[in-house]
Chains A and B, each alone.
Chain A
Amino acid sequence: MAWRALAAFAALATLPALPGLPTYYLLLAFDALLFGAIAMSLDLLMGYTGLVSFGHAAFYGLGAYATAILLERGVLSVWACLGAALVVVGLYAAIVSYFATARRGIYFALLTLIFAEVVYTFFRYTQTFGGSDGIQGLPDALLWRGVAIDTPRRKYYLVLVYLAAAYAICRVVVTSHFGRVLVAIRENEDRARFLGYNVQRYKMAACMISALLTGTAGAIYPIRSAFATPDLMLWTESGEFIISVMIGGLGTLVGPILGGAFFTILRDKASSFVDWYFIVIGGVLVLIVLFMPAGLLGVRRLVGFRQWRHGA
């Protein structure tokens, strides 16, 4: 697994070296990998813990605003942006996850959604942060003094490094003691309690990890786009994260990365050809759900339970 992951990241690292690759595609690759990373973070909750969050857009958007607000005020260090995003998203996620995990089933989804809508509404109507226009025209961030993340290639490598780090974290977490408990909670929450596990604590911790990874992805986004808008926090965004996880395959980590990338590229291609591209996307998704209900990568799991057996 580790070898294959290394090979995949090495291949991705050579992408900018492709002769004649238009900048447009490099930025599309950025978006695809970023979306994939978010879907993977959400998979920790959906695929491993069995919790469906309808509020991940808020973690993403808060991370984006943290960066945007700092860049706008002339704090250009990437590290400061990431640090601020982690603090803001961490505080918010602690509150959301505490309340959301106190309830079971549909209530978790509803509470995450409601909290996210509150955050969306706050940024949508607060003129200090640009209201519905958000914060536009941001300067380039600095990796360190004198090194700006100003070219598409540098931006691409930033997201690639983030994805690799996030993947490594998720992989370690799901194969750890903690990850096994998450799966046990997904499979049978009550029994997990009777084995001595404080289920709510584990769910909260899973939420926090997922939220912080998503918030970091959010913090990276304005470095590429030079803006942050309240639309990043809209519930449809959360829905697209969920769809990406489903397309890729629950509980596989790699699957949701592919799912997120696939969704991003499909949306981009479809929207460049026709105005009613959502119908095209919808049609493709229906086909996937009908013919690959376990997702792009989930098929393997149905066949042999390989990942459980070789989980260690």
Chain B
Amino acid sequence: MAARGVVLEVDSVSKSFGALAALSRVGFAVSEGQVFSVIGPNGAGKSTLFNVVSGLYAPSAGRVTFRGHEIAGWPPERINRLGIAKTFQITNIFPAISVRENVRVAAQSRAPESGRLASLWRSADVEARVTELLEPFGLATRRDEPAQNLSHGEQRYLEICLALATEPTLLLLDEPTAGMTPGETKDATALIRRIALQRGLTVLLIEHDMSVVMGISDRVAVLHFGEKIAEGTPEAIRSDPRVIEAYLGGAED
């Protein structure tokens, strides 16, 4: 694997919950600017993998390295401050406050005041950044709406906005198009690709929907029962017999 420009390295990571091995010795490397997808059937360990990388769980064994930092076991807020932002499979926003306030609280997390005493009486001016974040997702006109009033698709976009607002260099997307119609999924996929390019983001994507993965990924890894069974370009994965056997061969969802 090309060592040049590797941003995130997951090195034989295992995670067990009691007797259940959710991940066993999973390893891969994501290079700068790549869209790297992790696919696999339900229960393959994809979300567990994300939770380890983003800091919700400490791995039972193995190492996670991000830009030279060993981040395995760090709390989520510390990992986020290092430049990794995550979106959630089940929409995870601030429901009762406005769309604008949602993004504002996320954006100010990178303001110089953040974490300082002055944050008690000062408020960073992030208005311009909020607008800039909402615009591409078509949410600018909905900014004063309480987030819970948005449609499902809009809430999925807001979810991505919150993550982008923390100015990550690595974006973890956990099934960003979950629950979207095929039309919405197509738009969302194109949008994600465009924004990743614009911002020079590296993206680690978990997906269920093969059409999304094949359309935007530079590289794909396949998980099956907590183990990585294949990794390669989308074309290689599509024709890999083990993958077809484990995943594509089963019932399409």
Binding site for B on A (CB under 8 A): 172-173, 175-178, 180-181, 183-184, 187-188, 190-199, 201, 205, 209, 305, 308-309, 311-312
Known A183-B105, A311-B101: A177·B85 in contact at CB below 8 Å: no
CB <8 Å contact, B110 and A196: yes
Among A177, A184, A194, which residue has its beta carbon within 8 angstroms of that of B76? A194
Q: Is the CB of A196 within 8 A of B109?
A: yes
CB of B135 closer than 8 Å to a CB of A: no
Known: A184-B105, A195-B109. A172 touches B121 (CB 8 A): yes
Beyond contacts A173-B121, A180-B108, A199-B77: 17 other A-B pairs, Cβ-Cβ < 8 A, are: A172-B121, A176-B121, A177-B113, A177-B119, A183-B94, A183-B97, A184-B105, A187-B94, A187-B97, A188-B92, A193-B80, A194-B54, A194-B92, A196-B109, A196-B110, A205-B120, A311-B101
B77 and A198 contact, CB distance less than 8 A: yes
Report the nearest A residue to B146, measured CB to CB.
Answer: A305
Q: Which 6 A-B pairs have the closest CB atoms?
A: A187-B94, A196-B80, A177-B119, A196-B109, A184-B105, A193-B76
B95 within 8 A of A: yes
Q: Which residues of B contact A (CB under 8 A)?
A: 54, 75-77, 80-81, 85-86, 88, 92-98, 100-101, 104-106, 108-111, 113-115, 119-124, 144, 146, 162-163, 165-166
Q: Are B120 and A196 in contact (CB under 8 A)?
A: no
Q: Which of A178, A183, A195, A305 meets B166, CB within 8 Å?
A: A195
Cα distance A192–B113 in the bound complex, in angstroms: 16
Could you list 20 A-B pairs, sorted by A, with CB under 8 Å?
Answer: A173-B120, A176-B119, A177-B111, A177-B119, A178-B120, A180-B104, A180-B123, A184-B94, A187-B96, A188-B93, A193-B75, A195-B80, A195-B106, A195-B165, A195-B166, A197-B77, A198-B115, A305-B97, A305-B98, A308-B97
What are the residues of chain A within 8 A of B119 when measuring CB–CB?
Answer: 176-178, 181
What separation, in Å, do the CA atoms of A209 and B123 have in the docked complex?
18
Determine how close the nearest CB of chain A comes to the CB of B118; give it in whole angstroms.
8
Residues in B with CB closer than 8 Å to A187 are 94-97
A contact residues around B162 at 8 Å (CB): 191, 195
Interface of A is mostly: helix
* CB <8 Å contact, A177 and B94: no
Instruction: Determine whether the beta carbon of A194 is less than 8 Å from that of B86.
Output: yes
Q: Which residues of B contact A181 (CB under 8 A)?
A: 105, 108, 119
Smallest distance from the beta carbon of A74 to chain B beta carbons, Å? 36
Q: Which residue of A lies closest to B124 (CB)?
A: A177
Contact B109 A176 (CB under 8 A): no
**Cβ–Cβ contact A190 & B94, under 8 A:** no
Provide the bound-state CA to CA distance between A192 and B92, in Å.
Answer: 10
Are B144 and A309 in contact (CB-based, < 8 A)?
Answer: yes
Residues of chain B lying within 8 A (CB to CB) of residue A311: 101
B171 CB, nearest partner CB in chain A, Å? 12
- B residues near A173, Cβ cutoff 8 Å: 120-121
Residues in B whose Cβ lies below 8 Å from that of A188: 92-95
Tell me, in angstroms, the Cα distance from A173 to B122 when the chains sit together.
Answer: 8
- Contacts A188-B92, A188-B93, A191-B94 hold; do A176 and B146 have CB atoms under 8 A apart? no
Judge whether B80 and A194 touch: CB under 8 Å. Answer: yes
Interface centre among A194, A198, A199 (most CB of B within 10 A): A194
- B residues in contact with A205, CB < 8 Å: 120
The residues of A that contact B101 with a CB separation of less than 8 Å are 180, 183, 308, 311
In whole angstroms, what is the CA distance A309 to B95 when docked? 14
* A312 touching B123 in the complex, CB below 8 Å, given contacts A181-B105, A191-B94, A196-B109: yes
A197 to B85, CA, bound (A): 12
Give Cα A198–Cα B119 distance, bound, in whole angstroms: 14
A207 to chain B, nearest CB (A): 14
Tell whether, in the assembled complex, residue A175 and residue B77 are in contact, meaning their CB atoms are under 8 Å apart: no
Q: Which residues of B contact A183 (CB under 8 A)?
A: 94, 97, 101, 105
Contacts of A180 in B (CB 8 A): 101, 104-105, 108, 123
Alpha-carbon distance between A178 and B106 when the two chains are bound, in angstroms? 12
Structural contact, A197 and B94, CB atoms closer than 8 A: no
Residues of A within 8 A of B114 (CB): 177, 196
Which residue of B is nearest A188, CB measured?
A: B94
Q: Which residues of A contact B93 (CB under 8 A)?
A: 188, 191
Evaluate contact between A191 and B92: CB separation under 8 angstroms: yes
Q: With A and B bound together, what is the CA distance between A187 and B101 in angstroms? A: 12
- Shortest CB-to-CB span from B206 to chain A, Å, is 15
Instruction: From known contacts A176-B121, A180-B104, infer whether A309 and B77 are also in contact, taking CB-CB under 8 Å.
Output: no
Q: Tell me the bound Cα distance from A311 to B108 in angstroms.
A: 15
In the bound assembly, the distance between CA atoms of A192 and B111 in angstroms comes to 15
A94 CB → nearest B CB, Å: 16
In the complex, which residues of chain A have a beta carbon less than 8 angstroms from the beta carbon of B115? 198, 201
